[in-house]
Structure 1
Amino acid sequence: MVGTVVSDRMDKTVVVLIERTVKHPLYKKYIKRRARYSAHDESNSCGMGDLVQIAESRPLSKTKRWRVTQILEKAV
């Protein structure tokens, strides 16, 4: 999944915001759905606003079940 880093304050952990659009079943309008995932960043290389790709992994802590696989775009 691809998303934006919204927090990098923790050590070796980033919070990634994933946005997707879904069609409402009755009204047929598109709605934005957001999900926040805690992802493991081994080298602490991600920063706020970076576009990253994350992949599911084994449980690393109470809330971390994802790993950062690559940084697609660095924030300015």
Structure 2
Amino acid sequence: MAGQGSGGNVIAAICNIFFPGLGQLVQGRILSALIFAIIVVGGYALWFLIIPGVIAAIAHLWSIIDAAKYRSDSRYDRS
């Protein structure tokens, strides 16, 4: 990724709108993708308890913002 605000981050954020964690997966961050997906999907599945649904909605929004603001560490970037 080129950095914050790059086209790749915009695409990753758009991917997260449709499925939480997909944007992190596109960026190559597998662990954070799994964590976001589990929290959000699990919370939405328990929507009738209200609190897990609210937490899931917050985590979903967080995953979108996280993908949009991601900046890779240039020391480890091989491009």
Shorter-chain TM-score tier: under 0.3
| Greater RCO, 1 or 2 (C-alpha within 8 Å, sep 6+) | 2
TM-score, normalisation: structure 2: 0.22
TM-score, normalisation: structure 1: 0.22
Query: Which protein has the bigger helix share?
Result: 2
